Chain A
Amino acid sequence: KAGVTQTPRYLIKTRGQQVTLSCSPISGHRSVSWYQQTPGQGLQFLFEYFSETQRNKGNFPGRFSGRQFSNSRSEMNVSTLELGDSALYLCASSPAGTGKVNTEAFFGQGTRLTVV
């Protein structure tokens, strides 16, 4: 079956702009989570959505937001971009559900965002 699809793969934005990244999870997966990866901070959890609701949130400023649609597709938005937001943004989908034991997360290839 198709894997996790993230678009676009690469993006260049200017400081102060905003950006929206998209993630299509594996069919049937209702949990979508987002991660930021930088050389300095490594892989950091941003937030997780399940059935259109944010269930968990990492320690990122309010400029980072997201949403999930009824078809489980998710978008992540970063407003007022800063140079430090340059990173690989990864989306993961999971069959995780309420009260169920997690198995594994399936990651997309990521969106490489460069802020200049």
Chain B
Amino acid sequence: LAKTTQPISMDSYEGQEVNITCSHNNIATNDYITWYQQFPSQGPRFIIQGYKTKVTNEVASLFIPADRKSSTLSLPRVSLSDTAVYYCLVGDMNTGFQKLVFGTGTRLLVSP
């Protein structure tokens, strides 16, 4: 499974847009990019998943350039409750089985 690199931590203020970039230089053709959010002492929660270009849902947007060697999770107008650890994962979603490889994640701190 492709290894991912993302910033250890980021700081932001309420109402700002936050962009977290993840590098995955060795991404394979069948790999999808998935982002999870985790609050302390809780299980990770799926945010968004994409293969190429741009994906948007009610929570976030995911931007993936043509070479797919990186991706950017965009959180619009963050609030204090968005303070959490965000994980970028890359894996072959066509295998049918579930094995998520989590990296170190990005610890986002949103301040008033």
Contacts and interface: CB of A to CB of B under 8 A. Distances in A.
Interface in A48-66: 48, 50, 55-56, 58
Contacts of B44: 43, 90, 105, 107
B98 A33 contact: yes
Nearest to B44: A107
Interface string B88-101: 00010111111111
Contact of A107 (B34, B45, B49, B94): B45
Interface string B37-48: 000011111100
Question: Main secondary structure on chain B at its contact with chain A?
Answer: loop
A106 B47 CA distance: 11
Given A42-B105, A101-B94, A110-B41, A56 B99 contact: yes
B99 A48 contact: yes
B97 A101 contact: no
A42 B49 contact: no
Given A43-B102, A102-B32, A55 B97 contact: yes
Nearest to B46: A104
A107 B32 CA distance: 19
Interface in A79-103: 88, 90-92, 94, 96-103
B97 A42 contact: no
**On chain B, which size bracket covers the interface?**
20 to 34
A94 B87 CA distance: 18
Given A42-B105, A56-B99, A96-B98, A106 B93 contact: no
Contact of A92 (B96, B98, B103): B98
Given A33-B99, A44-B102, 16 more contacts: A31-B97, A33-B98, A33-B100, A42-B104, A42-B105, A43-B44, A48-B99, A55-B97, A91-B43, A96-B97, A101-B93, A102-B91, A102-B98, A107-B43, A109-B41, A109-B43
